[in-house]
Amino acid sequence: MSDKDKLNGSIDELRSELGDCQDALQNLVFQKSMQQLEDLSQIKKTRKKIARLKTLISESKILDNS
């Protein structure tokens, strides 16, 4: 699903996905601290996804207000 498709989705869906990603990031960081994480790039990818979701939520709020 592209970012434009997500923008058309509801804010609640975006917030739900954001919560899931934040939980996943917390688990990845925990796995890293326990030296169980082999692919460290997953942390970076998850952080970028969180940033994209936050941006989409902000954009949708701005569009709703105008």
The domain ranges of the chain are 3-65
| pLDDT tens digits, one per residue of 4-63 | 565 566 889 999 999 999 999 999 999 999 999 999 999 999 999 999 999 999 998 888
Q: Domain 3-65's class? A: mainly alpha
Q: How many CA atoms lie within 13 A of 54 on its CB side?
A: 8
44 Cα distance to chain centroid: 11
Around Cβ 15, how many Cβ atoms within 10 Å?
13
Residue 30 to residue 64: CA distance in whole angstroms: 37
54 vs 61: CA distance, rounded Å:
11
Looking at residue 65, its pLDDT comes to 81
